[in-house]
Amino acid sequence: MTGAVRPVDAATGAARRAGEILTGYFRSFDPSWVEEKSRNDVVSRADRESEALLREELLGAFPGDRFLGEEGGASGGGASEDEEGAPTWIVDPLDGTANFVRGFPHWAVSIARTSGGTFGPLETAVIWDPVKGDLFTAVRGEGAFRNGKPLRMPERPGLDGCAMATGFPFRQQAKIDLYLRIFRAAFLEVRSLRRAGSAALDLAYVAAGIFDGFFEFGLSPWDTAAGALLVTEAGGLVSDFDGTGRWRKRGNLVAGSPGVHAGFLALVAALGIEEEDL
């Protein structure tokens, strides 16, 4: 079956079916279906059912692949993380769980595939927002799309007048003072700064030009993989806070159009904050 379907098409179909599971739970949710994985980090029955479906469908279509999901970890195709491993699906079955369980309609299914290993080149991205009916897709070298229409980020020379998104480091509360230094400096430079609670959708919105940039630290591969490919395929840049490529392993990410990305890195550098501080 591997040769019969493109990865982006398999991921799109699987994401839509996972979305059907999630919308069946949304706003009819029983608090007993929610568990706290760690302080301020929750998982629900809906997350687990969505991930089980995605694992079954994606590995069913590509049985030699590896699957890395937020809730169930790695399976299939060996456990290699390097670029020589099997192609790897990196999946967040419900990005924005805290929003979801409170009935706030900002959450999505996020699926990415690498050409090999967890940290190999990203080749496919799908983010599906079933509430708003938004499907974001990208294939490396083929561009990024929203509901089939190509995306190209608007150019801005810097931070002045731009709209940025961010996420709070709720899993790394010891770093709140560093985060607030960056937040304050950005707040004083940009036109608007938003925190909506789904890194996948924030990055998709950067690719779509709704936001001009995004920053957060302490993220996991499933939070960022699909959104990062959307951004780069739409003409943007993604890096860690010193402009290098360690963000996929360290989880500290800055994304934006080239001018906004450069302006934000300069802002962080002016504060004297280095990537190793984060």
Q: Is residue 52's pLDDT more than 90?
A: yes
Report yes or no: 200 and 95 within 8 Å, Cβ to Cβ: yes
Q: Which residues contact 98 (CB under 8 A, 6 or more apart)?
A: 42, 197
Indicate the pTM of the whole model. Answer: 0.92
In the chain, the DSSP E strands lie at 34-38, 41-44, 66-69, 73-75, 88-95, 108-114, 122-129, 134-139, 143-146, 149-150, 163-166, 192-194, 213-216, 237-239, 253-256
Q: Which residue has the tokens 């904050």?
A: 273
| C-alpha to C-alpha distance for 44 and 78, rounded to whole angstroms | 27
Tell me what pLDDT residue 76 has: 65
Q: Give the CA count within 13 Å in the CB-facing half-sphere of 108.
A: 30
**Domain 2-150 homologous superfamily, CATH:** Fructose-1,6-Bisphosphatase, subunit A, domain 1 (3.30.540.10)
Element (H, E) at 267: helix 258-270
Matching CATH number, 163-277, of 3.40.50.10320, 3.40.190.80, 3.20.20.70, 2.50.20.10? 3.40.190.80
| C-alpha to C-alpha distance for 137 and 134, rounded to whole angstroms | 10
Domain ranges of the chain: 2-150, 163-277
Report yes or no: 165 and 177 within 8 Å, Cβ to Cβ: no
Report yes or no: 241 and 270 within 8 Å, Cβ to Cβ: no
Q: Which of 8-22, 30-44, 61-75, 83-97 has the highest mean pLDDT?
A: 8-22
Q: Is residue 33's pLDDT more than 70?
A: no
